[in-house]
Every structure is written in structure tokens, then in C-alpha cells.
Amino acid sequence: MEARIFAPSGKELGNVELPEDIFSGPVKKHLIYEVIKGHLANQRQGTAKVKGRGEVRGGGRKPWRQKGTGRARSGTSRSPIWVGGGRAFGPKPRSYNVTLNRKMRRQALRSALIAKAKAQQLGILEDLSLPEPKTRHAFQMLKSMGFEGQRCLLVIEQYDPMVLRATGNLPKLRVTTWEWMNCHDVVNTDQVLMTKGALGKLAEAKKL
């Protein structure tokens, strides 16, 4: 399987062969679905909370005596059936965490990368050497590649302050390292742009 390779200027240099041990095999769509569903569930804070009848302020005194008034008996003005009362069976803080084992996460990431490569949505960047840490240089690079206006994921070898500064103001560009790349990031983008160094590290690590 091949992918396009680009110069730092954004000029297309041709095609490069992708590592066979990563970019081979079927695309496991259901596994991608399960991992992304778990990833999004783990982002939830689960902090929804309302007050029950025992937590609402007031209501300590019995509104009226038990018998003889002709009205329904009542022990507190904070009952759920009263205006201003507590909520019956309301939401409480809870955890939505889902355990995803390492093998699942890795196979899902591999499937996502294979799918991007097959769809011609994976590009290799020969080098990422910007003249200055300026947004205009990063924008011009993406424009030359034809990725302007598209959601892009830039995968680099290691975090570089210059790269982060140059790309920080580009709203549709997300930067990550090969170690922190995940299935959701890959799927939720139009183009994946990976530096040659990051691809080499990914192949050496043999984690997919």
C-alpha cells in the first residue's frame, strides 16, 4: 500500500511504500465503533445532579395537622408533588467509564489508519521544518497540499514548541504525536498527515 509524500513546502514528491506490518489486513469497522464509543463515554463528566426531598432547604415543619382539615395529609412542603419540592428519581453523579483493553485500542487504530490509506486520505510529510513558528507558514503548507478548509490531523515524532506555536491558530488542524494518536482522532478528520519520523517510530514500536 502506498501514500503520497510531501515536501515541507507542501509540494507533492510522489508516492512512498507504507510499512506492511501496519498497513495490511481488513478494516474492522465494528471494533472502530466500539473503541470510539468507549472513548467518547470516557470523556463524559457525569456531574448531572438535582436535589431530592431531603436535600432541598426548608420543609422541616408539618404544613398542617394530620386529620380534620379536609385536605390531603402532608408531612413536608418539600415533597416531590409540591411546587418547590425536591425531584423524585432525579439524576445523580455517576461514572460512564468503559474499560477498553490495549489490544482492542491498537487494532482499532490500525484499522482506522488502513481505512484512511485506502481512501487516499493519508499523507506522509518528508520533514517538518518551518522557517519561523508563524501561522502563515503552516497555513501555506496545508494550502499547497490541497488540504485548505479540511480537518487535518498532523502526527509528529515528538512535541515541538515551534510546530505547536505555528499551528495553534489553525482551527481545523490538530497536532499529536505518534504515541498519543488514537482511533477517534484518526476517524474524526478528513486528512491524516504523518511525518516520516513519526511513521518510522510507529513501525519500530510494533504496537499495532
* Mean predicted confidence (pLDDT) in 107-117: 97
Residues 119, 21: one domain? yes
Q: pTM to 2 decimals?
A: 0.84
Across 19-33, 61-75, 126-140, 184-198, least confident range: 126-140
177 occurs within a structural domain: yes
Query: Which domain CATH number covers 123?
Result: 3.40.1370.10
Q: How far is CA 147 from the centre of its chain?
A: 21
The radius of gyration of the chain from alpha carbons, rounded to an integer in Å, stands at 27
Domain that holds residue 137: 2-44+100-205
95 occurs within a structural domain: no
Number of domains in the chain: 2
- pLDDT tens, 62-105? 999 999 999 999 999 999 999 999 999 999 999 999 999 999 99
Residues 66, 86: one domain? yes
Contact (Cβ atoms closer than 8 angstroms) between residue 174 and residue 189:
yes
66 occurs within a structural domain: yes
* Mean predicted confidence (pLDDT) in 181-189: 96
Residues 129, 155: one domain? yes
Mean pLDDT of all residues in the chain? 94
* Mean predicted confidence (pLDDT) in 122-142: 92
Residues 26, 85: one domain? no
Closest C-alpha to 108, from 207, 190, 203, 1 = 207
- Residue indicated by cell numbers 419540592: 85
Residues 115, 144: one domain? yes
